[in-house]
Chain A
Amino acid sequence: MADFEIKDLRVSVEGREILKGVSLSVNKGEVHAVMGPNGSGKSTLSHTLMGHPNYKVISGQVLFKGKNILALQPEERAKLGMFLALQYPVVVPGITMSNFLRTAINAKRGYDGKDKSKAINVKEFRALLRDEMSVLRMDDSFLSRYVNEGFSGGEKKRAEILQMAVLKPEIAILDETDSGLDIDSIKFVSDAVNRMRGPELGVLIITHYTRVLKFIKPDYVHVLVNGEFVRSGGPELADWLEAKGYSEWVKEPAKAPAALEAK
């Protein structure tokens, strides 16, 4: 059995079935890309895996570390070793990034405000951040800013990857992490993700465009259309999609239109 296994997952949003029986096995050490056109159910998949309350599971299982995680709260999934980099990271006014990161790290370590030995100490925290932030080309001023408030698209995505880097998940889902990024930001983000790749991390990259896959080479590519996987293959499937797009299934180009790239 794989380390992370999605079995025949069916999910509805506001009464409409979006995922119609999706199965996927991800092992640690592997990078999987889930690609698909707009409306294919990519975000539904990522949000369901992390436990967003608006996504109702009709049937199926997601097995991780011997548990069906679909019964767990999002924070329990996180503590188990899952991470979701959001496509649209949320603003939390008045909470500094530094406070947010520290709270998240402590939560993962099981610090409940009582046993101080479980909490990360200041020195350790700084060292951890300094390292990861330099890879992502983020300066210290970023830590005193409020969570995602006034962040540019690139800053938001880099902040997501920074969270991933310090929380050290075993299964990471990157939801459209490349969207809205200029080419430099894509490079920084990809460098950081590549640095984390290894036998202890399984990655699910969810993306519309093949661009990011040039920087983060996937081991497997799966095409999601209309709530079902229609094709799976190796990295060559991404190249094939780049040339053909999703035209076999829907009328839409796989390549990013110039207008989007400019953003």
Chain B
Amino acid sequence: MATVIPRIDVGDNYKEKYGCFDPEKFVSKAKRGLSPEVVKEISWMKNEPEWMTAFRLKALKIWDKKEMPTWGADLSMIDFQNIYYYLKSTEKQGKTWDDVPADIKNTFDRLGVPQAERKFLAGVAAQYESEVVYHSLHKELEAKGVIFTDTDSALRDHPDLFKQYFGTIIPPGDNKLAALNSAVWSGGSFIYVPKGVKVEIPLQAYFRINAENMGQFERTLIICDEDSFVHYIEGCTAPIYTTDSLHSAVVEIIVKRGARCRYTTVQNWSTNVYNLVTKRAVAYGDATMEWVDGNLGSQITMKYPSIYLMEPGAKGDVLSVAFAGKGQHQDAGGKAVHVAPNTSSNIVSKSISKNGGRTSYRGLVKVYPGAKNSKSFVRCDALLLDDESRSDTYPTTEVDEPQVRIGHEATVSKVSDEQLFYLQSRGITKAEAETMIVNGFIEPFTKELPIEYAVELNRLIQLEMIGSVG
């Protein structure tokens, strides 16, 4: 049953006040909080098939029953009944440039982010003007049979393919936040790469992003058919300013036999955001899955990209960086699950804490009986920039097969007086020297990024560091 959506009175002076859109388009305003009505409303507004409405409602039931995870960061501050679970993009535009905090604007300045992009990143404009780039790319992809679209459109335009894979890797029952996302998801990317097709240019969410896709509960689904290749990049190093306090995405990836998928994330949420994301991939025979995951902003991040190695020869890499400043807790890591023999995984986690920030590495390596000759190596390196900051590691290893090679290495280091003195004795200031040491520390990560992202990341670290030395 579709509920009646109340029209809100826009008022005569609305246009003068907010100035950026036509009141005529302003059809609905979702309510705060979560209920079957809200979920049905979302599905109805999106014109979804019945099975999706049912899927959402079932997920909501699971959400109601499941407990919040208490093993990680402190999530008790989130008031789930005070959140808008679905806003049309026009509604999100209710902000003006003046509402954007000064520090965010400053960072845009210092990073040299173009004007059009700034408004978009700050949530003031709904569309980032990159359509031209995207359209030419889109034609090229279409010719090869590659589908690259937002997830809502995929459900509408590719219903069979969608239904075949959606929710198969991360079912709603996986965890409470996956259930929440399943109930209220909106936006995200959908990618299908046909057999044998190698997509040469990285596909960036940026190309076709709009406010909807940058939603709080986006849902991404990537299917790499046999022997294909794709590199998907989401996020950007510029801070994403949002007044929404919760971001809870689900990312599902299927990498079929002989295929390779790389998923790169560089995220810099504003520091009021709880970023709670479930990411999982399955890799089949001789397939390779690579997560490259950088987390800079947010108040709390909980994110552990996972790889299930389902058939012999499957390979998985997780490379992550977390940067926690004042008041931030980055709880990140990776999971590798070895189901089949001759599979290998490599998890490298780098974290930096400063000004009392906290980073945690949390990881799991699991080897099932019979997954002979599997190899796994985990390395976590933490860099503490001062005495108030904190870093912990919570590695879990469950191995039920004797014939395996498992390695784990963890280091915690500080920026040493000797390093600083050495660089300073060459004329480099202390602040610059600290920045260099931090950039050097995350270099194994940065070198995996496309050059423009690497440069931006280094500059961003520089900004963060200068702030710390005051």
Contact = CB atoms under 8 A, between A and B. Distances in A.
Interface of A: 50-54, 73-75, 77-79, 83-84, 86, 89-95, 100, 103-104, 107-108, 146-147, 163, 167
A52 B418 CA distance: 8
A187 B426 CA distance: 24
Contacts of B416: 90
Contact of B428 (A91, A93, A107): A107
A53 B439 CA distance: 23
B197 interface: no
Nearest to B419: A90
B113 interface: no
Contact of A92 (B422, B429, B432, B444): B422
Interface of A, helix, strand, loop or mixed by DSSP: mixed
B306 to A, nearest CB: 27
Contacts of B440: 92-95, 146-147
A86 B418 CA distance: 11
Contact of B443 (A50, A73, A95, A163): A95
B417 interface: yes
Interface of B: 416-419, 421-430, 432, 436-437, 439-444
A104 B426 contact: yes
Nearest to A107: B427
Given A75-B427, A90-B419, A163-B426, 9 more contacts: A53-B417, A54-B417, A74-B424, A78-B425, A78-B427, A86-B425, A93-B440, A95-B439, A104-B427
Nearest to A84: B425
Contact of B425 (A50, A94, A100): A50
24 contacts: A50-B425, A73-B424, A73-B430, A74-B425, A75-B424, A75-B428, A78-B424, A78-B426, A78-B427, A84-B425, A86-B425, A90-B419, A92-B440, A94-B440, A94-B444, A95-B437, A95-B439, A103-B428, A103-B436, A104-B426, A108-B427, A146-B443, A167-B426, A167-B427
A78 to B, nearest CB: 4
Nearest to A77: B425
A104 B426 CA distance: 6
A90 B418 contact: yes
Contacts of A75: 424-430
Contact of A94 (B418, B423, B427, B443): B443
Given A53-B421, A54-B417, A92 B426 contact: no
Contact of B421 (A52, A83, A91, A95): A52
A104 B443 CA distance: 19
Contact of A104 (B421, B428, B437, B439): B428
Closest 6 CB pairs of A and B: A94-B440, A94-B443, A107-B427, A78-B427, A74-B424, A104-B426
Nearest to A54: B417
B443 A74 contact: no
Contacts, number: 82
Nearest to A93: B440
Contacts of B430: 73, 75
A103 B432 contact: yes
A160 to B, nearest CB: 10
B415 to A, nearest CB: 10
A92 B417 contact: no
Contacts of A86: 422, 425
A92 B423 contact: yes
A51 B439 contact: no
A73 B420 CA distance: 11
A87 to B, nearest CB: 12
Contacts of A50: 421, 425
Given A52-B421, A74-B421, A103-B432, A92 B427 contact: no
Chain B CB within 10 A, most for which of A89, A90, A100: A90
Contacts of B422: 86, 89-90, 92
B159 to A, nearest CB: 47
B386 to A, nearest CB: 15
Nearest to B413: A93
A51 B425 contact: yes
Nearest to A86: B422
B219 to A, nearest CB: 35
A103 B437 CA distance: 13
Nearest to B423: A92
Nearest to B424: A74
Nearest to B438: A94
A132 B338 CA distance: 52
B455 to A, nearest CB: 13
A23 B439 CA distance: 41
A15 to B, nearest CB: 17
Nearest to B417: A53
B429 A95 contact: no
Nearest to A53: B417
Contacts of B423: 92, 100
B441 A94 contact: yes
B426 A93 contact: no
Chain B CB within 10 A, most for which of A50, A107, A146: A107
A92 B416 CA distance: 10
A130 B423 CA distance: 22
Chain A CB within 10 A, most for which of B425, B430, B443: B425
A91 B441 CA distance: 12
A83 B423 CA distance: 11
A94 B419 contact: no
Contacts of B429: 73, 75, 107
Contacts of B442: 94
A90 B418 CA distance: 7
B55 to A, nearest CB: 45
Given A53-B417, A93-B443, A107 B426 contact: yes
Contacts of B419: 90-92
Nearest to A110: B427
A71 to B, nearest CB: 15
A18 B134 CA distance: 68
A79 B443 contact: no
Contacts of A74: 421, 424-425
B53 to A, nearest CB: 50
Contacts of B425: 50-51, 74-75, 77-78, 83-84, 86
Nearest to B426: A104
Contacts of B439: 94-95
A53 B441 CA distance: 23
A107 B425 CA distance: 11
A163 B428 CA distance: 13
B369 to A, nearest CB: 39
Chain B CB within 10 A, most for which of A73, A75, A146: A75
